[in-house]
Structure 1
Amino acid sequence: MGPDVHESVVRVRWSVIQDAYGNDIRSVADELTIAGCIVLPPDGQTAASVEAVEARDQVVVLCVLFAPAGADIRAEDQIRHQGETYEVHGRPSALPGHLAHIEALLRVVTG
């Protein structure tokens, strides 16, 4: 990627254990700082989506993470960026070639 890519994000990966009833619960978070990233809104999107859900407003914010090739990011991870914690939404894509990088759609829902 280009020389302007200088942000860092924190990849949060939770280990999962089972409670006494057999339910999966999050246990310990493994955090990894990934440098050389940039987080941008999806192509063509300039604002968050607002939906009325059961008499309250729900705000959905989508972003795209561009990370260096080989970055260890999975669909079940979370990404912390500028004070916000996003869920990785779907499977990250590895793009090859001269500008090889990883792209991941990020999503946060509030309300």
Structure 2
Amino acid sequence: MSTTPTTAIVAGPDDDGIGDALEHEGVDVTRLNGVISRPHLEEAGIVAADLYVLTDTEQATTIPIACDLNDGLRTVVYARDSVPEFVRGQLDLAIDPQLMDAEIVADELVA
């Protein structure tokens, strides 16, 4: 049984507002932009984070890195592009923002 996330890292551009929606639900959000590396994830607090939300599928390689650094991490892709096959097994959830708005997704993630 998963616990309610209290900390999240939102990686990539957040044009659809998932970071703001999570903050509205009381989650402490750290944002990462640009090319994201293992040191960036570590500096952002991935080791202690509850949730990793990736909004840029071109940076899908960060998902296995994040999972390697934090066994209990829940991983979500919130993006319009499809998720590369090599990370699908490490994802808890993949959602297209055109199908479900950020407020509903955030509510479900903290429920």
Decide: shared fold, TM above 0.5. no
Higher helix share: 2
Normalising by structure 1, report the TM-score.
0.26
Q: Which has the higher strand share?
A: 1
TM-score (norm 2): 0.26
Answer with 1 or 2: which has the greater Rg.
1
